[in-house]
Chain A
Amino acid sequence: MAGSLNITAATIDPALLDLPWGVPLELWPDDSIAALPKGISRHLVRFVHLSGYVVAIKETSAELAKREYDMLRTLQRLDIPCVDPVATITNRTDADGNPLESVLVTRHLKFSLPYRALYSQTLRPDTATRLVDAAAVLLVRLHIIGFFWGDVSLSNTLFRRDAGAFAAYLVDAETGQLYSGGLSNGQRENDLEIARVNIAGELLDLQAGGRLQDDVDPVEISNGIVAQYRTLWKELTGSEEFDQSERWRINQRVERLNDLGFDIEELAIKTDTTGTQVRIQPKVVDAGHHQRRLLRLTGLDAQENQARRLLNDLDSYIATYGDGSVDEEMAAHQWVAQAFEPVIRAIPRELQGRLEPAEIFHQLLDHRWYISQNQKRDVPLAEAVQSYVDNVLRHRRDEATLIDPPTGAFTLETEVVGDDDEDDWRKNV
């Protein structure tokens, strides 16, 4: 390979240099390829082991790779859940000096799952709905910062488990554009329409492949994103007007947003000329209300719903063991030491890659509730842990970096389980 390879990266991992950049991605030797569940992609994407973690490598034009790299970095700075850009590599040539496509390298999001990996045989209606709900939250957050996605779909999203729900991460920013003045209603509506049509297409495709439970209506579920988005958008950005005497409605609005997982950073409050009517409108909202509280109190980093769940447990812990005089930080510290950490330590090492710690704790709380109901007694945490490990966790697959089945190119349209397609028809699109 000619010596002019060009790598742009925020922090250089020397291992990047050892990858076979002089070979088209399609032909990379299997020993460097990691097997991961696959989604639908326009470009060739492959997963590769790199000094202790996994990266996704996408072949594309130099211009697009650079643009997407910058866009992902910007989105990260704006606190949008998205994949982590590692580097762009341009000026690739093969052994004969022929130019090869540039690549974008992103770090594989640990414990993340493409939607096609979220079912073993068929996709259940409630799972489909929860995926769509998570996508709606992501889309609202993107629109709030002025990002027009242009290609909203389940394929362009990764999901992390979040205490019974999902948290959605943006994977493909190729078609996206950031508008500093915010988005027009037309742009938002267009993104929403793209989402609706793409999600319907993806679910209809699962249906055609016999991967959707019979009672799931793809059109109805995809319409769900529109309703979910509008509700959330209205709550986060809408103005409301009330009488001066109803000022408690300001607090009520703040609490409603907190329940949805958002904090208000800036609220516009206006009174009319007579001073009797008040109009409020959130100006700046920030996702992660429970995440931030959990982080502040315990130092634990979790998804929003997981954080909510952990905080609930923390609150009941304080109610049970607190003597009323302990301050919140102290009690939280005790809860971590006496409740959370012992549970995580009790998970056998070989099972630690199954789920994230916060998700394990959430599932354990659910499990304890079920067995307590069954046995009509309050099962202690320590006892519940053993039962959870043996009866639940041991039977789950590893989701840290899902490795089943072994795959070639990420661009295959196959499922994680029961894959019966032989060729990658998408390879040359």
Chain B
Amino acid sequence: MASVTFDKATRLYPGSTRPAVDALDLDVADGEFLVLVGPSGCGKSTSLRMLAGLEEINDGRVLIGDRDVTDVPPKDRDIAMVFQNYALYPHMTVAENMGFALKIAGVSKDERATRVLEAARLLDLEPYLGRKPKALSGGQRQRVAMGRAIVRQPQVFLMDEPLSNLDAKLRVQTRTQIASLQRRLGVTTVYVTHDQTEALTMGDRIAVLKDGVLQQVGTPRDLYAAPVNVFVAGFIGSPAMNLFDVDVVDGGLKFGTAVAKVDRETLGATKAKKVTIGVRPEDVKVATSGAGLPVNVDVVEELGADGYLYGHSEIDGKRVDIVVRVDGRNHPSAGDKVFITPEPDHIHAFDTETGLRLTKKAIEAK
């Protein structure tokens, strides 16, 4: 087992002026499950490939444990790309399927048997070791594929969008399996996804990237409660946080016909006349009359106990889309006009110019 360190690691593609990954500083603790997340082109896969040795590092270093691996070829880095290949061989037993890579690597027969058995126990595959893959269920086959990586006993597991090819149901199932297996194994894991839900549900910590630059790294709760900037605020959470620009007024922020109270510390952090306000869908109160931001309801999505109201408003002549979590049964209907106000103490404020967070305290989910 080992930690992973990116030390100002930079990847600049030939002929490109902007680095794909720009001076990435990131420490992954021994045994940690770290998720790299961001929109396509943000540099998450490139970062993973730099760690794997597939991308040249133009500047900075990458370390696995205390060892500088910046110039070490992929196969000598003691890492395993999991799910790179799902192929299971039909004539080989489960044990042979799990252990054949060790055979190629020249590991002795006894050692192979020990490692395969150990992995099989972790994966609940022990009773099947003598069977051929065709006698296994789909889930078991997938665990055999994981077993292939585990028996190599690598220092670090790397996974690049491993679930992207699966259908929705299997994706959720496998997501849980991978996360629980990783915790049982305790192997440091770096996992890449573009899906923030996957990131939130799987990672011990999450690193959010955009345009090759690390935006924020923290626990799922950190990122949810205190996003450092507008980008992270809008990226983490589903449906996304409502974000729009409002005027600073005496004692708070202008929220339609109401004033959203904001603490003095937050307001003191800027001299600007406008700030970007962020309110999560679950932190909005809906009323049919009274003060607040007027919203025209476009559609209400019912999800059983809860529902989501999608509507729009107008601020300074600009259309603003709004999402609000509502009761699954008692909610306004499409075409209604409602007034919304944020829950007190559940307002994230950001500097409109820089996008940086102004609110000092974290805002926990209700």
Chain A residues with CB under 8 Å of chain B are 40, 42, 61, 64, 148, 150-151, 153, 155, 181-182, 184-187, 189-190, 193-194, 196-198, 200-202, 204-206, 208-209, 211, 219, 222, 413, 421, 423-426, 428-429
Contact = CB atoms under 8 A, between A and B. Distances in A.
Contacts of A423: 134
Contact of A193 (B14, B75, B92, B93): B75
B134 A425 contact: yes
19 contacts: A64-B165, A153-B87, A181-B15, A184-B55, A186-B49, A186-B52, A186-B73, A189-B75, A200-B104, A201-B89, A202-B89, A204-B96, A208-B89, A208-B96, A423-B134, A425-B132, A425-B136, A426-B134, A429-B88
Contacts of B75: 189-190, 193
Contacts of A429: 86, 88, 138, 141-142
Contact of A194 (B13, B15, B84): B84
Contacts of A61: 165
B100 A204 contact: yes
Contact of B103 (A148, A205, A211, A219): A219
Interface in B268-284: none
A145 to B, nearest CB: 15
Given A181-B13, A413-B90, A425-B132, A197 B54 contact: no
Interface string B117-143: 000000000000000111110100110
Interface in B132-180: 132-136, 138, 141-142, 165
B87 A198 contact: yes
B108 interface: no
Contacts of B55: 184, 186-187
A194 B56 CA distance: 19
Given A198-B87, A209-B90, 15 more contacts: A40-B90, A148-B54, A155-B87, A184-B56, A185-B73, A187-B54, A190-B53, A190-B74, A194-B85, A202-B89, A205-B91, A208-B92, A211-B91, A425-B90, A426-B134
Contacts of A185: 56, 73
B320 interface: no
B246 interface: no
Given A150-B84, A219-B104, A429-B138, A184 B89 contact: no
Interface of B is mostly: loop
Interface residues of B, number: 36
Contacts of A426: 88, 90, 133-134
A190 B79 CA distance: 12
A74 to B, nearest CB: 19
Contacts of A200: 100, 103-104
A222 B101 CA distance: 12
Nearest to A150: B84
A89 B70 CA distance: 44
Given A202-B89, A206-B91, A426-B90, A189 B84 contact: no
Interface in B5-38: 13-15
B53 A186 contact: yes
B52 A181 contact: no
Of the listed residues A185, A190, A201, the one surrounded by the most CB atoms of chain B closer than 10 A to its CB is A201
> Can you list the 8 inter-chain pairs with the closest CB atoms, starting with the nearest?
A425-B134, A209-B91, A413-B90, A205-B89, A208-B91, A186-B53, A181-B14, A186-B54
Of the listed residues B14, B86, B89, the one surrounded by the most CB atoms of chain A closer than 10 A to its CB is B89
A222 B104 contact: yes
Nearest to B86: A42
Nearest to B101: A197
Contact of A184 (B54, B84, B104): B54
A193 B152 CA distance: 14
Contact of B92 (A64, A181, A205, A211): A205
Contacts of A194: 84-85
B69 to A, nearest CB: 11
Contacts of B88: 426, 429
Contact of A186 (B74, B85, B86, B92): B74
A198 B85 contact: yes
